[in-house]
Amino acid sequence: MSSKKVIESVYEQVLKRNPGENEFHQAVKEVLESLTPVLDENPQYIDSRILERIVEPERVIMFRVPWIDDAGKVQVNRGFRVQFSSAIGPYKGGIRFHPSVYLGIIKFLGFEQIFKNSLTGLMMGGAKGGSDFDPKGKSNNEVMRFCQSFMTELCKHIGADTDVPAGDIGVGGREVGYMFGQYKRIRNEFVGVLTGKGLQWGGSLVRTEATGYGLVYIVDELLKEKGESFEGKTVTVSGSGNVAIYATEKVQQLGGKVVAMSDSNGYIFDPQGIKLDTVKQIKEIERKRIKEYCSIHKSAKYTEGCNGIWTVKCDIALPCATQNELDGEGAKALAKNGCKVVAEGANMPTTPEGADILMENKVAFLPGKAANAGGVAVSGLEMAQNSQRYAWTFERADAELKNIMVNIYKNISAAAEQYGQKGNYIVGANIAGFVKVADSMMAHGVV
Q: Which of 92, 128, 197, 233 is catalytic?
A: 128
163 binds, among ligand 2IT, ligand NDP, none (CB under 5 to 8 A by kind): none
Site stretch for ligand NDP (CB under 6 A), options 21-29, 65-73, 162-170, 426-434 = 162-170
According to the binding rule CB under 6 A, does residue 149 interact with ligand NDP?
A: no
According to the binding rule CB under 6 A, does residue 194 interact with ligand NDP?
A: no
According to the binding rule CB under 6 A, does residue 263 interact with ligand NDP?
A: yes
According to the binding rule CB under 6 A, does residue 322 interact with ligand NDP?
A: yes
Nearest distance, CB of residue 355 and ligand NDP, angstroms: 16
According to the binding rule CB under 6 A, does residue 165 interact with ligand NDP?
A: no
87 binds, among ligand NDP, ligand 2IT, none (CB under 5 to 8 A by kind): none
241 binds, among ligand 2IT, ligand NDP, none (CB under 5 to 8 A by kind): ligand NDP
Closer to ligand NDP by Cβ: residue 211 or 385: 211
Residue 420 gets the label, from left (phi > 0), alpha (psi -120 to 50) or beta, of: left
195 binds, among ligand 2IT, ligand NDP, none (CB under 5 to 8 A by kind): ligand 2IT
Nearest distance, CB of residue 166 and ligand 2IT, angstroms: 3
Nearest distance, CB of residue 379 and ligand 2IT, angstroms: 3
According to the binding rule CB under 6 A, does residue 23 interact with ligand NDP?
A: no
According to the binding rule CB under 6 A, does residue 239 interact with ligand NDP?
A: yes
According to the binding rule CB under 6 A, does residue 363 interact with ligand NDP?
A: no
Q: Which amino acid is at 423?
A: G
Nearest distance, CB of residue 303 and ligand 2IT, angstroms: 28
Three-state SS sequence of the chain: CCHHHHHHHHHHHHHHHCCCCHHHHHHHHHHHHHCHHHHHHCHHHHHCCHHHHHCCCCEEEEEEEEEECCCCCEEEEEEEEEEEECCCCCEEEEEEECCCCCHHHHHHHHHHHHHHHHHCCCCCCEEEEEECCCCCCCCHHHHHHHHHHHHHHHCCCCECCCEEEECECCECHHHHHHHHHHHHHHHCCCCCCCCCCCHHHCCCCCHHHHHHHHHHHHHHHHHHHCCCCCCCCEEEEECCCHHHHHHHHHHHHCCCEEEEEECCCEEEECCCCCCHHHHHHHHHHCCCCHHHHHHHCCCCEEEECHHHHHHCCCCEEEECCCCCCECHHHHHHHHHCCCCEEECCCCCCECHHHHHHHHHCCCEEECHHHHCCHHHHHHHHHHHHHHHCCCCCHHHHHHHHHHHHHHHHHHHHHHHHHCCCCCCHHHHHHHHHHHHHHHHHHHCCCC
Active site (annotated) includes residue 128: yes
248 binds, among ligand NDP, ligand 2IT, none (CB under 5 to 8 A by kind): none
Site stretch for ligand NDP (CB under 6 A), options 17-25, 223-231, 259-267, 436-444 = 259-267
Residue 203 gets the label, from left (phi > 0), alpha (psi -120 to 50) or beta, of: beta
Count the site residues for ligand NDP by CB under 6 A. Answer: 26
One residue of 282, 321, 334, 364 binding ligand NDP per CB under 6 A? 321
One residue of 192, 241, 380, 433 binding ligand NDP per CB under 6 A? 241
240 binds, among ligand NDP, ligand 2IT, none (CB under 5 to 8 A by kind): ligand NDP
What per-residue string of b and e applies to 399-411 under the rule 16 or more CB within 10 Å gives b?
ebbbebbebbbeb
According to the binding rule CB under 6 A, does residue 380 interact with ligand NDP?
A: no
Nearest distance, CB of residue 242 and ligand 2IT, angstroms: 9
Closer to ligand 2IT by Cβ: residue 113 or 262: 113
Long-range pairs for 30-33 at CB < 8 Å and ≥24 separation? Answer: 30/352, 30/426, 30/430, 31/111, 31/115, 31/430, 31/434, 32/7, 33/7
One residue of 50, 158, 346, 383 binding ligand NDP per CB under 6 A? 346
264 binds, among ligand 2IT, ligand NDP, none (CB under 5 to 8 A by kind): ligand NDP
Residues forming the site for ligand 2IT (CB under 6 A): 92-94, 116, 166, 168, 195, 347, 375-376, 379
Closer to ligand 2IT by Cβ: residue 23 or 315: 23
Q: Alpha-carbon dihedral of residues 66, 71, 73, 76, nearest 10 degrees?
A: -30
Q: Which amino acid is at 319?
A: P
Closer to ligand NDP by Cβ: residue 122 or 321: 321
> Active-site residue numbers?
128
Interface ranges with ligand NDP (CB under 6 A): 98, 100, 167-170, 211, 239-244, 263-265, 306, 320-322, 325, 345-347, 372, 375
